[in-house]
Chain A
Amino acid sequence: MSDETLPRAAAPPRRRAAVPVGVMMAMAWLALILAVALLADAIRPFGITAMDLRARLQPPIGFGGTSWAHALGTDELGRDVLSRLIESIRISLLIAFGATIIAAVFGTTMGFLAAHFRGWVEQVVLMLIDFQASMPFLILALSVLAFLGNSLPLFVCLMGLYGWERHARIARGLAIAANAQGYAAAVRHLGAGPLRIYLGHVLPNIASTLIVAATLSFPEVVLLESGLSFLGLGVQPPMTSLGNMVGYGREYITRAPWIMLCPSAVIVLTTLSVSILGDWLRDRLDPTLT
């Protein structure tokens, strides 16, 4: 907001605060989810399309289920919910990671371009930022998806457009500030080219802020992907994602609520964990970011 009129009191030197329990739990959950995603093929008990028509709509263990072979029950075609959940976690995380990385790289590049060239380049970038920020992304995504058709790479790129403007805004502001600082001027006078200055010197100095911004947009990408897949317009069968599973499970909400509740729980726990971790990282690395 406004500039500080009073100098902030210098922070007293303090010990490294212990990691709060909530953050520890969030980290543990994310580690588990990551491990599941990486090892999906090895730990999945059944194929995701393997049907067992004699064991349709079996409830999970603890809710009247009897078969340990299907610990989380089966769906309307007798497919194992646990196996499908594992595969869904992999696909959803793949999309969310891919999209977050694309957004960060694209946004940071645009921000640097604006900061380097200024003038009309900066005006165009700022206009695009304004445009992106003022439109509900879901509607833009729906339009693009419907008319470009749908494939996994395209879907990841589309999700990668989400949140780039946040990175661009941060990167531009920080790079302009960095350009005014001694170190950037020093390497420039030593003859380094723009590429070297921005990638070798400016980027490492502003990386922590960008990483925090990425952790803040990651859960939003998960929610967006699952929302689109829930509507049947995201990940297409036979592939499965968390939102996809919720969408299909909804048909069986009265008879087999577990089909929809299992992926819902994973979505909520994952977005919650990343948010907790992101807030904590922000407080530690860069409290000025909102």
Chain B
Amino acid sequence: MLRFAALRLGRALLTIALVVTFAFIVLRLSGDPAMMIMSPDAPPEALKAFREAWGLDEPLWLQYLKYFTAILQGELGQSMRDGRPAIELVAERIPATLLLTLPALALKIGLGIPAGIYAALHRNSMTDRVVMTFAVAGFTVPSFVLGLILVLIFAVQLGWLPSGGQEGWRSVILPVISMGLGGAGVLARFTRSAMLEVLGQPYIRTASAKGVPWGAVVRGHALPNAAIPTVTVVGFMVGSLMAGAVVVESVFSWPGVGRLMVVAVANRDLAVVQCVLLLVSATMVTSNLIVDLLYGVLDPRLRGQAPAAGGGH
């Protein structure tokens, strides 16, 4: 189990290193930020001074090395727009994003998993079909379309809720619904198919045949086994707590990390984009790591296998 955890941790760190490299390659090699920030007809001395100030005149390998060590020291550069540390700009947006993504996650789990379980237990019933229709709709309606339609109905037509901005709990409702419904659909669909696969297994038949009441079969045998693949999807959703709100925050002009990212991208603000990229990947990698470790807890079979599987490499 310890070796299993160590291997997974190593892989997580490798992924972060890959993200850092990716960020460096894409963001640094692709253009001349000095021209972008200063405007092309700035005096050459000013451009030169800018490049020196940001270390853009050094050889690339040196820039990469410096970049990497700086990140290890928690130094993520300053916003090229207003000179404030990028990490500060990003950090102050995190609470606003979590204010949307956490309730949305609760909505996804609270609605999606029970609906999926119910649909699987009542396969081919009317409820199953209704749930699945909603699930497919949740998956195919993009969050910005759903968001705008909700605005059209509840803000423009009925005037019950604000269409954007931060005005207390009432402005949270529409964004959370726009994000949560789609995810609930995905989760319902996934839970249903995981449950159906488990319900078709011989051990379920055995348990029923030896006289265990159906409710106990579902609780004791079906749910724990179906939980294993479902945890993966939930883990992915937890991992996208930071990134999941990019589009919806823009729809509702919500001052979160996603909105910051979009604005930074439009302004080509290197440091801020890198910072968001790292924040998002760190969240994602951490939650993948937790999911991997949870697997070991949920599925004792994996615990035995893990060292063997890892031993070959």
The 4 closest A-B CB pairs, nearest first, are A146-B265, A136-B243, A271-B140, A147-B30
A143 within 8 A of B: yes
Chain B residues lying within 8 Å of A231, measured Cβ to Cβ, are 246-247, 250, 262
Within 8 A of B (CB), among A240-254: 243, 246, 250, 253-254
Per-position binary interface string of chain A over residues 14-28, scored 1 when its CB falls under 8 Å from any chain B CB and 0 otherwise: 000000000000000
Are A148 and B26 in touch, CB under 8 angstroms? yes
Instruction: For the complex formed, measure the closest distance between the CB of A224 and the CB atoms of chain B, giving whole angstroms.
Output: 9
B15-23, B75-83, B90-98, B213-221 - interface stretch: B15-23
CA distance A258 to B202 in the complex (A): 54
Within 8 A of A (CB), among B169-201: 193, 197
Can you name 18 A-B pairs with beta carbons within 8 Å? Answer: A123-B313, A127-B14, A138-B246, A139-B281, A147-B30, A147-B270, A147-B273, A148-B30, A226-B144, A231-B247, A232-B266, A250-B251, A253-B151, A257-B156, A264-B145, A264-B148, A268-B145, A275-B136
Instruction: For the complex formed, measure the closest distance between the CB of B11 and the CB atoms of chain A, giving whole angstroms.
Output: 7
Per-position binary interface string of chain B over residues 138-155, scored 1 when its CB falls under 8 Å from any chain A CB and 0 otherwise: 011111110011011000
A85 within 8 A of B: no
Interface size on B, residues (CB 8 A): 53
A260 within 8 A of B: yes
CA distance A283 to B137 in the complex (A): 19
Residue of A nearest to B251 (CB): A250
Known: A139-B246, A148-B26, A268-B145. A253 touches B152 (CB 8 A): yes
Residue in B143, B148, B246 whose CB lies within 8 Å of A260: B148
B59 within 8 A of A: no
Are B142 and A267 in touch, CB under 8 angstroms? yes
Chain B residues lying within 8 Å of A140, measured Cβ to Cβ, are 22, 277
A149 within 8 A of B: yes
Identify the B interface with A (CB < 8 A).
11, 14-15, 18-19, 22-23, 26-27, 30-31, 136-137, 139-145, 148-149, 151-152, 156, 193, 197, 202, 229, 239-240, 243-244, 246-247, 250-251, 261-262, 264-266, 268, 270, 273, 276-277, 280-281, 284-285, 288, 313
Chain B residues lying within 8 Å of A138, measured Cβ to Cβ, are 243, 246-247
Identify the A interface with B (CB < 8 A).
1, 5-6, 123, 127, 130-131, 134-136, 138-140, 142-149, 219, 223, 226-227, 230-233, 243, 246, 250, 253-254, 257, 260, 264, 267-268, 271-272, 275-276, 290
Are B26 and A144 in touch, CB under 8 angstroms? yes
Instruction: For the complex formed, measure the closest distance between the CB of A156 and the CB atoms of chain B, giving whole angstroms.
Output: 17
Residue in A146, A226, A250 whose CB lies within 8 Å of B142: A226
Known: A134-B284, A268-B145. A147 touches B152 (CB 8 A): no
